[in-house]
Amino acid sequence: QHLALVMPTWVGDACMATPTLRAIRQRYPQLKISLICRPVIRDLIWGAWGDEPAWCDSTWLVTKSGGGDVYTRRELTRALRSSDVDAAILLPNAFWAAAVMRLAGIRRLIGYHRDARGWLLSDRLPVPRKDGKPRPISAVDYYAALSAWIDAPLSSRAMQLEQDGVGRQLAGQLLEQVGYDEGQPLLVLNSGAATDPRRVWPEEHVAELARRAAIELGYFVLIHCGPAEREQADRIARSVAHPSVASM
């Protein structure tokens, strides 16, 4: 049997999918597993050296524009049609993921019944709701329900990413620059959002959390951000004014 896993689009969501990937591999060690994902997600999951992790056998790279060894969605449909993939789990809620799998002739499609795609799925999971509205839950648990559907419950909710020696050395240098002591527990806060400003934490809330973690729990707190949030991260760190709080 050959299972395809359509991965989340964003890096943070892909990190939170790693417990699900691990659970499926542990439950079905002989199953052929392929990931369908953007190149950046492949690089994240495989690690800086590009080595395949234990929980998948291959990847199908896909973007809207394609190019090189990367498929467009139409090209992916054709490639899957001639493959031996016979089942797919759709981690993201995207309509295109269900449409590509269905057009490729994959009969068993497992995913959440939402975004007008339920009719394309063979196995429709209900969206967790409260008072008739989608209930906010951790993406770790959201994805875990999909693996549990095929009798592969999580053995651990811990997220897992591998890194090579070069990456570890670079991380060590960066942490040394901000004054991190390895004997101290480390907490990394990222309050930004790539696509939706409504998901950005209020600065005062981030500052309060960082302050309490440093003073009450003894953590070294690193305010992490992308290039566009550099000024905000520096401003939060300055407002806390504690030697164990820095921005990077």
Provide mean pLDDT across the span 48-64: 78
Q: What is the pTM of this model?
A: 0.82
pLDDT digits (tens, 9 = 90+) for 126-135: 999 988 888 8
Separation of alpha carbons 61 and 92, rounded Å:
15
Structure tokens at 239: 């407002």
Separation of alpha carbons 7 and 21, rounded Å:
10
pLDDT digits (tens, 9 = 90+) for 134-175: 888 999 999 999 999 999 999 999 998 877 677 778 888 888
- Compute the residue count for the chain: 248
Check if the beta carbon of residue 226 is closer than 8 Å to that of residue 233: no
Separation of alpha carbons 98 and 155, rounded Å:
28
Find how far residue 115's CA is from the centre of its chain: 20
DSSP letter, residue 7: P
